[in-house]
Structures are given as structure tokens and as C-alpha cells.
């Protein structure tokens, strides 16, 4: 029980909540768009069944992510992906959701939700797995993953409108979120088994790598945003 009272555990909890808030909203928007042509009486079923399928898929993805992150170099790859996701958060959104195909059939809408969530969940999965890795003790990781999934369910189903409104009103939230992903990327990379021989995985180096990742995301995101505009 004492293991769950450590600062590392609750820091990882906070990171997972933030990741879910930032990256779960988009999934909710996709679900809403996929169900928009359903009859009113089927929309709730479409949302619930689509979300259920997406969550099952996410469990499978996270199981593999937790296992694969123990292999050399994969944390480095995951860190690079997180950095890019963080940078993309800071760039103007031009890909939109207009290309999400709506269906007037319940099964078609559910299929659309699951396929779209599969594509969009990679960032969420790696972020949750990376934050769980930062809990320090291996026994913390699966409880954190389960917690991350439980948090993501209400966010995906109900929280998207509020989150998107907050992001529109307070753009700083997006910047902080992008930098958080950079922080997690840095701390994830420093713990890669391939770097074990260099004895880099110390508290000081982990902190420095997290700061470097956060600043890298902020710098690249700001630069690319200016070029795009």
C-alpha cells in the first residue's frame, strides 16, 4: 500500500490524467462525427458500443506497448513519436475531422469509430505507457495503465466538448500539454535499455532529459507554427 503513496506514483497519475484530457478529446469528436447520421434513438448505442470497442482495442495496444517498451531502442522510437505528437499539438490544426465518414447504420458507425480510434490511440497508448514507466517501481505500471484507461472512458464519451472549449479559450493548455509530452519523451528515452551501459538513467539526467524534451517541443512547435502561418 505504501508503494502507492510515493511522489513518483502520483506524478505519473497526474501525467496520465493530462494526457487523457489532451488526447482523449479528439477521439470523442471522431465518435460524435461517426454517429452524426444515425437516427436519434441509435446514437447512444453507437457511442457506447463504439467506445467499448475502442477501449478493448486500447487495452490490447497498451498491453503490447508495456511489453515492447522493455526492448532496446523502442523507448527511443516511442520518445521520438511523443516529441512529434507534442510538436503537432502546438501547430495550427489543418487536418480537421471533415474526412471522418459518417454512417446511417449502427454497425457502420461502430466500425468507423473503432478504426478511427485505432489510428488515433497510438499517441494516447504510448503516452500512458511512457508515463507509467516513470512511476519507478515495476509494480506500479499496470495499476497506472488501468487507471489511465478508466480515466479515458468518461473523457472520450462525455468530456470532449468541455475540453475543446477550454483549449479554445485558454490556448496555453495546449502549449503546456505539448511540453508535457516532450517531458515524458525525454524521461522515456533516457531509460531505454540500449543506454543502460552508459549509466545515464539517474534522477538528475532524467530531469535534464525531461526539460530538454519539453523545450524541444516548445521550440520546434513555435518555429513550425510561424512558418506555417
For the segment 174-205, what is each residue's pLDDT rounded down to a tens digit? Answer: 888 788 888 988 988 898 888 888 888 888 99
pLDDT at 25: 60
pLDDT at 192: 86
From residue 27, alpha-carbon distances to 197, 205, 219 in Å are 40, 34, 27
For the segment 86-135, what is each residue's pLDDT rounded down to a tens digit? Answer: 888 787 655 445 455 555 578 887 887 777 666 556 666 777 777 776 66
From residue 42, alpha-carbon distances to 31, 38, 51, 69, 174 in Å are 13, 6, 14, 40, 33
For the segment 48-89, what is each residue's pLDDT rounded down to a tens digit? Answer: 788 788 777 777 777 776 676 677 888 888 889 888 888 887
From the number of C-beta atoms within 10 Å of its C-beta (0-12, 13-18, 19+), residue 77 rates as middle
Q: If you write DSSP's letter for every residue of 112-164 in order, what string do you get?
A: HHHHHHHHHHHHHHHHHHHHHHTTSSGGGHHHHHHHHHHHHHHIIIIIHHHHH
Longest dimension (CA), the chain: 60
pLDDT at 155: 67
- What is the rounded end-to-end Cα distance, in angstroms, of the chain? 51
pLDDT at 227: 83
Say if CB 131 and CB 19 are below 8 A apart: yes
pLDDT at 159: 56
Cell for 34? 461517426
Q: Kindly give the interhelix angle for 40-68 and 106-133, rounded to the nearest 10 degrees.
A: 30
Whether pLDDT at 216 is above 90: yes
Total-model pTM: 0.63
Entry field: residues in the chain: 229
Distance CA 221, CA 55 (A): 30
Compute the average pLDDT of residues 147-167: 64
Amino acid at each position: 500500500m505504501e508503494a502507492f503513496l510515493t511522489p513518483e506514483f502520483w506524478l505519473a497519475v497526474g501525467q496520465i490524467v493530462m494526457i487523457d484530457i489532451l488526447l482523449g478529446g479528439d477521439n470523442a469528436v471522431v465518435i460524435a462525427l461517426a454517429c452524426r447520421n444515425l437516427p436519434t434513438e441509435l446514437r447512444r448505442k453507437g457511442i457506447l458500443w463504439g467506445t467499448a470497442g475502442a477501449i478493448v482495442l486500447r487495452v490490447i495496444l497498451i498491453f503490447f506497448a508495456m511489453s515492447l517498451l522493455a526492448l532496446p531502442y523502442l523507448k527511443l522510437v516511442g520518445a521520438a513519436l511523443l516529441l512529434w505528437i507534442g510538436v503537432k499539438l502546438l501547430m495550427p490544426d489543418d487536418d480537421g475531422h471533415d474526412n471522418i465518414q459518417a454512417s446511417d447504420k449502427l454497425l457502420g458507425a461502430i466500425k468507423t469509430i473503432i478504426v478511427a480510434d485505432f489510428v488515433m490511440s497510438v499517441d494516447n497508448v504510448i503516452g500512458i505507457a511512457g508515463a507509467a514507466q516513470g512511476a519507478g517501481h515495476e509494480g506500479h505500471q499496470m495499476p497506472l495503465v488501468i487507471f489511465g484507461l478508466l480515466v479515458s472512458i468518461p473523457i472520450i464519451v462525455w468530456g470532449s466538448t468541455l475540453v475543446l472549449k477550454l483549449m479554445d479559450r485558454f490556448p496555453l493548455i495546449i502549449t503546456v500539454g505539448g511540453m508535457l509530452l516532450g517531458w515524458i519523451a525525454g524521461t522515456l528515452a533516457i531509460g531505454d535499455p540500449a543506454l543502460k551501459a552508459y549509466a545515464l538513467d539517474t534522477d538528475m539526467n532524467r530531469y535534464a532529459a525531461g526539460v530538454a524534451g519539453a523545450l524541444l517541443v516548445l521550440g520546434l512547435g513555435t518555429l513550425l507554427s510561424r512558418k506555417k502561418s
